[in-house]
Chains A and B, each alone.
Chain A
C-alpha cells in the first residue's frame, strides 16, 4: 500500500490529468505518416493483402512440401537411413514486436520459400516434420466458481503471440535445438520454444 504521505491530493491529480489535454498533432504529421505507411508513394500500397495470409501460406506450403517429399521418398526410393528419432519435439513459434513481417509481395515470396526449404531439408534428412499456423484470436478459459470463464490472455508482450508450431522427430533435446540453427523464423526476429512431447 502506498504511503499516504506520498500520495497526491485530489487537486494535484486533476492537474496531472489535465497535462497535455490541449496538445494537438500537427497537420504535417498527418502527411508524413501517410507517406511512411505507403509504399512508394502509392496510397493503398501498404503491405499487400496476401501478407496477412503469409503465415497460413508458409505453414501450409511447408507442410505440403514435407508431405510430398516424404510421400515420394517412401513410395519410390530405397529406404534411406533415418536418424534416430526417439522422441517428438514441439517447436513453438512466437512473434513479438521484434518479428519482421514481410513488407511487400516480393519479400513475402522469398520468406515463404525459406520456410519451405527449411522444412524440406528436415524431411529430406528423413525426419518426421509436421506443423500448423495458429489463429491469434484465441482465449484462455478456466473455471471460476464452477463456471466456465474466459480469462485474460497468457501471452507476455515481451515474448509475443504464439503464431504456429512444428513437430519434429529428434534423438534428444540437443538434437531438436540444433535444427534451429538455420531456422528462418529466428532469422526474422521470432523465437522458438522447444518442448518434448511426453510419450506414455
Chain B
C-alpha cells in the first residue's frame, strides 16, 4: 500500500542486530535505537492519541522487551514491524493496569473544545482520532496510517483478519460521522 512488504527484513537491520547480539554494547544498541525509535515513537504516539508520557513509557518498555528477546527474533517480518507489535502489546497492558476508562477520559480531556468558531478538517480529524475507542484507533493506525494489510495485521499484531476489517470499517465510519458532526465525539467499540 504505502511501503514495501512489511515482511521483508532489510540487510541493514540484519547487520545491526547481528552486531548488537555479538557485542551487547551501548553503541550498537544506540544504532538500533536511532534507526527505529522515530517511527516507533510516532506509532506509540498515534496509539496513545498524541505524543507525551504514555508514548515515552511505551517506547522505553518496548525496547526493554525487544532487547531481551532479540536473540529469538526469527526474521519473519521486518524488525520495525516486530517492534510495533511489542509496542501494541505494551500499550494494551498499560491500559489494563491504568484502567481503561481513565485512559479514554484522559485522552478526551486533552482535547477540550476550542473557543474558535471554526475547526479545520485536520484538527477535527485528529481530534476524532483521539476520541476513537482503542480497538478502532489501533486498526486505523496500523492499516490507514502505517500501511499494513489486514493479513499482515493478523499475522503480526494478533488481530484476526475479520476483526481487523470490521474494526476498520467502524472506525472510519466513526471518523466520518465526527467530521460531519463538526466535532470529535467518541465512539464506543
Contacts and interface: CB of A to CB of B under 8 A. Distances in A.
Interface of A: 2-3, 5-8, 11-13, 15-21, 23-26, 29-30, 32-34, 36-38, 43-49, 51-52, 95, 97, 101, 103, 136-139, 152-153, 156-158, 161
Contacts of B35: none
Contacts of B89: 97
A15 B33 contact: no
Contacts of B26: 34, 38, 43-44
Given A8-B172, A33-B59, A37-B29, A152 B64 contact: no
Sorting the interface of chain B by its residue count into under 10, 10 to 19, 20 to 34 or 35 or more gives: 35 or more
B37 interface: yes
Contacts of B151: 152
A13 B121 CA distance: 11
Interface of B: 2, 7, 21, 23-27, 29-30, 33, 37-38, 41-42, 45-46, 50-51, 55-56, 59-61, 63-65, 67-69, 71-72, 74-76, 85-86, 89, 121-122, 125-126, 129, 140, 144-145, 151, 155-158, 165, 168-169, 172-173, 175-176, 179
Contacts of B85: 157
Contact of A8 (B72, B126, B175): B175
Contacts of B175: 8, 12, 16
Contacts of B156: 157
